[in-house]
Structure 1
Amino acid sequence: MPISLKKGQKVSLTKENPGLTKVVVGLGWDVNQYDTGGAFDLDAAAFLLADSGKVSRSEDFVFYGNLKHPSGCAEHMGDNLTGAGDGDDEQIRINLSAVPENISKIAFTVTIYEAETRRQNFGQVSNAFIRIYNELTGEEILRYDLGEDFSIETAIVFGELYKNNGEWKFNAIGCGYQGGLAALCASYGVEVE
């Protein structure tokens, strides 16, 4: 039975699951039936952060334009352009045992591609969630449903995996930003062209 988290709640992944190394972070959403004149394209990403709360280098940003971290610890499984269907819309595979020593947390985000141009925001998205499951067994460990109403935000930090006293934990964040992917990149220290 997976743990269902509330905003701000923290839970250990490895304490209850000794030996856990390979997890998949699944992110999903449904688009409300508003006609904004264009299709929605939501994009999941992972920012691999040092103790400073920033990336150390641009390769620490894993997204549709950089699908695999050089260490192999994080791999984006591909861009879903529509969000149609049930289950995860995008997935990021994480190998906890391969995370470099200088990485203390991994933040998982979702942004709306070209949100400003298309006049779209997370107020037009429903049933957004993040879940983590054991890649080897398929067993779902935790799930966080984003219940809040984000009326103007175009980017959301869903949650983060972080190391604490040798354990991997998850923090359900649910924090929205205006300014889309560029705002998140600025916040996490990624240089954008």
Structure 2
Amino acid sequence: MASISLVKGQKIDLTKGNSGLAKVVVGLGWDPVKSKGFFGGAKKNVDCDASAILLNSEGKLANDNQVICFHNKKSPCGSVVHSGDNITGEGDGDDEQIFIDLAKVPADVHKVLVVVNIYDCVNRKQDFGMIQSAYIRILDGSGSNELTKFNLSDNYAGLTALVCGELYRHGTEWKFAAIGEGTHSPHINDLAARYK
């Protein structure tokens, strides 16, 4: 199956028609913008952190251990696992990945919200105007087949967190929605608090 490119607001069925798809990899990537200084294009490192917030049927976060991020890399049930922190955004391919075993996600979790925020953004005076080429993509469980990709191409200057997309239940199936909403949340805990 060829990858499907999404635009903001679009949704796609992940499991319908993909029989046997029980595991997915959520890949997130970004690059620092080259500065336009007199001496050329030096890049300033921006430490973006991807996280997954597990929400119930009311769209609420039941407890803090359902925020899967660089300091809490595994959900209590083991269905959502974070790959670890990438502090620069350098290199090709995904900068951070979140592994989701859809078959193991507890019945009371209806959405897996995927977000990115900038670490220590207030002290470093950084925002999403300092990154480029940001995207979220969904791959099959082996990580070898890209199912869908959403390029985060809006102007997010001045904003410090992005709600990239969500995987959500639809009956017995799982779907993905491209959200691409920027917000002011200096830390993942601030962003997660919006869902309590």
Alignment of structure 1 residues 32-47 onto 2, 5 Å: 32-34=33-35, 39-47=45-53
Q: Could you tell me which residue of structure 2 aligns to residue 63 of structure 1?
A: 69
Correspondence list, 1:116-127, <5 A: 116-127=122-133
Paired with 1:59 and 1:129, the residues of 2 have a C-alpha distance of: 26
Deviations 1:73-106 (A, max 9, x none): 1000110011100100000000000000000000
Bigger mean CA offset, 107-116 vs 131-140: 131-140
The verdict on how the C-alpha distance between 1:113 and 1:5 changes in structure 2, with shifts beyond 3 A counting, is same
- Structure 1: gaps of 5 or more residues: none
Q: How does 1:36-115 map to 2 (within 5 A)?
A: 39-115=45-121
CA distance in 1: counterparts of 2:129 and 2:62, whole angstroms = 33
Deviation larger for 129-138 or 78-87: 129-138
Computed over aligned residues only, the root mean square deviation of the Cα atoms, in angstroms, reads: 1.6
The residue aligned with 1:158 is 164
Residue of structure 1 in register with 2:154 after alignment: 148
C-alpha distance in 1 between matches for 2:45 and 2:89: 10
Change beyond 3 A, Cα 1:99–1:61: same
Task: Report if the CA contact (8 A) 2:29-2:135 is conserved.
Answer: yes
Amino acid at match of 2:82: H
SS at match of 1:188: coil
TM-superposed CA distance for 1:183, in Å, is 3.3
Residues 47 and 60, structure 1, Cα contact 8 Å, conserved in 2: yes
Amino acid across the alignment from 1:58: D
Paired letter, 1:111: N
Q: 2-side partners of 1:137 and 1:118: how far apart?
A: 34
1:20 aligned partner = 21
**Aligned position for 1:5:** 6
Higher mean displacement: 57-66 or 133-142: 133-142
Q: Cα gap change, 1:147/1:37 in structure 2, threshold over 3 Å: closer, same or farther? A: closer
**1:64 counterpart letter in structure 2:** F
Contact 1:60 1:69 in 2 (8 A): yes
Query: In structure 2, how many angstroms separate the alpha carbons of the residues matched to 1:144 and 1:137?
Result: 17
- Name the SS of the counterpart of 2:180 in structure 1: strand
TM-score of the superposed pair, with normalisation by structure 1: 0.93
Give the distance between the partners of 1:67 and 1:18, measured in 2 at CA: 28
Task: Indicate the larger mover: 66-75 or 48-57.
Answer: 48-57
Displacement of 1:180 = 2.4
Distance 1:185 1:168 in 2: 22
Tell me if structure 2 keeps the 8 A contact 1:51–1:103.
yes
Aligned to 2:32: 31
CA drift at 1:136: 2.8
